[in-house]
């Protein structure tokens, strides 16, 4: 009996995977990854699209609230590619990819300039335009285009109404597109579209 217990006690059990089990597991994992990778890529692009669209919509809501609070027109304009704080003034250019400026507009011309035309702080002297916020340049595969009278700027009056209705179209990697529609009443809504053309 003593001999039997000694031989059972000396048995060794090894723990781990065999080579065949490991190769089978890696093969199944490789197949699952090849299925999941394309859907993950489209998920990331959809997430980027939502982020950019929400950033623009948030800035539109922000300038609308600033126009109501300050009781003057507030605008967004595209930044010139060669400068950090100058609006693009070419009528045919409507690309907001370089970023955009948000500013008060005392003389209601929709242009960010240094004209001294209003007394913002009530001290009896004219004040210049105020740069409220600057949005940085976007990634190279993101395109933001405006339509109609939004080519040079998007603005809100002191009553919270849009200076003119129009659309902002966002495209990422020439695949996914969304449109932000701004009504003349100032209402902003987002719509999914096939393309911006």
pLDDT in tens, the chain (197 residues): 555 555 555 566 667 778 888 899 999 998 888 887 777 777 888 888 889 899 999 999 999 999 999 888 898 888 887 666 777 777 565 778 888 889 888 777 777 776 556 766 667 776 667 888 888 888 888 888 887 667 678 889 989 999 888 888 888 876 778 899 899 999 999 988 877 76
Whole domain around residue 89: which residue ranges? Answer: 38-193
CA atoms of 105 and 92, how far apart (whole Å): 22
Instruction: Report the DSSP pairing between strands 176-182 and 154-156.
Output: unpaired
In a domain, 21, yes or no: no
Tell me if 84 is assigned to some domain: yes
Entry pTM: 0.74
- What's 134's domain CATH number? 3.55.40.10
Whether 153 maps to a domain, the answer reads: yes
Residue position matching structure tokens 């995977």? 17
Q: Is residue 134 in a domain?
A: yes
């Amino acid at each position: 009996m003593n001999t039997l217990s000694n031989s059972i006690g000396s048995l060794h059990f090894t723990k781990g995977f065999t080579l065949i089990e490991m190769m089978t597991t890696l093969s199944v994992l490789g197949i699952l990854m090849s299925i999941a990778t394309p859907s993950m890529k489209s998920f990331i692009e959809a997430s980027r699209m939502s982020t950019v669209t929400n950033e623009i919509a948030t800035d539109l809501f922000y300038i609308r609230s600033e126009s109501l609070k300050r009781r003057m027109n507030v605008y967004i304009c595209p930044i010139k590619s060669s400068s950090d704080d100058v609006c693009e003034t070419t009528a045919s250019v409507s690309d907001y990819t370089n970023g955009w400026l948000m500013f008060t507009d005392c003389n209601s011309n929709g242009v960010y300039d240094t004209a001294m035309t209003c007394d913002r702080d009530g001290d009896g002297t004219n004040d210049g335009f105020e740069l409220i916020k600057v949005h940085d340049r976007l990634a190279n595969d993101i395109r933001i285009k405006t339509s109609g009278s939004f080519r040079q700027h998007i603005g809100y009056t002191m009553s919270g109404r849009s200076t003119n209705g129009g659309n902002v179209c966002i495209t990422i990697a020439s695949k996914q597109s969304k449109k932000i529609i701004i009504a003349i009443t100032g209402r902003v809504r987002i719509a999914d579209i096939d393309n911006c053309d």
